[in-house]
């Protein structure tokens, strides 16, 4: 009995009061409990990194005409993307070399053209589950990144009391870090405030579009992936990923996470965490 109480305290010690207030007369909330000794590496972080680079570069090239201000400050990077754009135009059988006349795809189409599948949010088929995530086009091989868990990243000592009230979208990482994936209310305001705080001139350090119905990063739907039920087993699982310090600055505009506390050194040490979700079998 005492062991179970200690386990619950370690899991909820930074959210203990709201947990009592909201859950004393209902079922235990679904805040993820992960033992400290857990390991979640299903595929290598290098594979996650390469997948994100691949889709983010494709999104950047697809939106090339709106990246002029960024590219003006990164001439070497501009040359690289012009080369990639030329290759993409040839692959798409576009005869014009003028990037401004290129065909612009939707983010979902870019995802399909790049990774071979598309995902979207829709009404879940699970009873009382609300919104879910579905593979709407293509096929997802086992062990492929299918979505990212967006939201504000909180270290264990940082305040999340008011954001946590009535909030079912808080994801607990193995090291106790919390990711608030709620796209409404106070959580939404906190994320936008932190995102605009960290913007450096034309360089956006995070993506705000997941707070809207029009996603810039089509992978930023992980908070709506439903848990398994008694009738349907889980076909995805979580893997945590630290964004490395050398992540291209021009592509950070597609990262759907922001740290709550402004800490330049922390960014350089690459401790921003994403809840990456991987397909196990079938579709989400």
Interval 160-173: pLDDT, tens: 888 888 898 988 88
Does residue 133 form part of some domain? yes
Mean local confidence (pLDDT), 39-54: 87
Is the pLDDT higher at 175 or at 80? Answer: 80
For CA atoms 46, 41, 209, 123, give the dihedral sign: positive
Mean local confidence (pLDDT), 92-109: 66
Does residue 220 form part of some domain? yes
pLDDT tens-digit profile of 131-156?
888 889 998 888 889 999 999 999 88
**Residue 220, φ and ψ in degrees, nearest 5:** -80, 60
Whole-number pLDDT of residue 34: 58
Does residue 43 form part of some domain? yes
Q: What gap in Å lies between CA 284 and CA 122, rounded to an integer?
A: 11
pLDDT tier, 14 (very low <50, low <70, confident <90, very high otherwise) = very low
Whole-number pLDDT of residue 211: 97
Whole-number pLDDT of residue 83: 86
Mean local confidence (pLDDT), 80-98: 70
**Residue 264, φ and ψ in degrees, nearest 5:** -60, -45
Asked whether 224 and 131 are in contact (CB, 8 A), the reply is yes
Whole-number pLDDT of residue 97: 46
pLDDT tier, 206 (very low <50, low <70, confident <90, very high otherwise) = very high
Residue 174 has pLDDT above 90, yes or no: no
pLDDT tier, 275 (very low <50, low <70, confident <90, very high otherwise) = very low
Q: What is the mean pLDDT of the chain?
A: 79
> How many domains would you assign to the chain?
1
Does residue 268 form part of some domain? yes
Q: Where are the beta strands (DSSP E) in 61-200?
A: 117-123, 131-138, 145-149, 151-154, 170-172, 178-180
Does residue 2 form part of some domain? no
Does residue 186 form part of some domain? yes
> What's the per-residue H, E or C state across 201-259?
CCECCCCCHHHCCCCCCCCCCHHHCCCCCCCCCCCEEEEEEECCCCCCHHHHHHCCEEE
Instruction: Encode 166-177: b = buried (16+ Cβ within 10 Å), e = exposed.
Output: ebebbbbbbebb
Q: Which domain holds residue 163?
A: 39-278
Whole-number pLDDT of residue 273: 36
Is the pLDDT higher at 39 or at 220? Answer: 220
Can you tell me which residue has the tokens 């947990």? 19
pTM of structure: 0.79
Does residue 221 form part of some domain? yes
Does residue 9 form part of some domain? no
Asked which of 12-26, 68-82, 210-224 is least confident by mean pLDDT, the reply is 12-26
Residue 40 has pLDDT above 80, yes or no: no
Residue 6 has pLDDT above 80, yes or no: no
Residue 284 has pLDDT above 70, yes or no: no
Residue 12 has pLDDT above 60, yes or no: no
């Amino acid at each position: 009995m005492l062991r179970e109480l200690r386990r619950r305290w370690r899991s909820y010690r930074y959210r203990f009061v709201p947990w009592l207030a909201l859950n004393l007369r209902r079922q235990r909330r679904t805040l993820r409990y992960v033992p400290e000794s857990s390991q979640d590496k299903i595929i290598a972080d290098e594979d996650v990194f390469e997948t994100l680079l691949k889709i983010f570069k494709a999104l950047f090239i697809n939106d090339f005409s709106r990246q002029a201000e960024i590219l003006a400050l990164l001439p070497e990077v501009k040359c690289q993307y012009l080369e990639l754009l030329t290759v993409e135009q040839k692959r798409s059988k576009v005869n014009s070399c003028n990037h401004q006349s290129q065909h612009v795809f939707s983010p979902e189409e870019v995802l399909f053209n790049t990774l071979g599948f598309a995902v979207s949010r829709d009404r879940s088929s699970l009873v009382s589950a609300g919104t879910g995530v579905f593979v709407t086009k293509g096929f997802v091989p086992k062990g492929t990144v299918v979505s990212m868990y967006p939201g504000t990243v909180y270290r264990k000592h940082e305040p999340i009391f008011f954001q946590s009230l009535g909030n079912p979208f808080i994801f607990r990482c193995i090291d106790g870090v919390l990711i608030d994936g709620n796209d409404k209310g106070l959580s939404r305001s906190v994320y936008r405030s932190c995102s605009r705080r960290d913007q450096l001139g034309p360089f956006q350090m995070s993506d705000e579009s997941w707070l809207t119905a029009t996603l810039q990063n089509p992978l930023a739907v992980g908070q709506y992936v439903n848990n398994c039920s008694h009738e349907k087993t889980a076909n995805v699982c979580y893997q945590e990923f630290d964004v490395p310090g050398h992540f291209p600055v021009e592509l950070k505009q597609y990262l759907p996470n922001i740290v709550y506390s402004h800490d330049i050194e922390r960014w350089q040490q690459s401790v921003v965490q994403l809840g990456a979700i991987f397909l196990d079998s079938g579709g989400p």
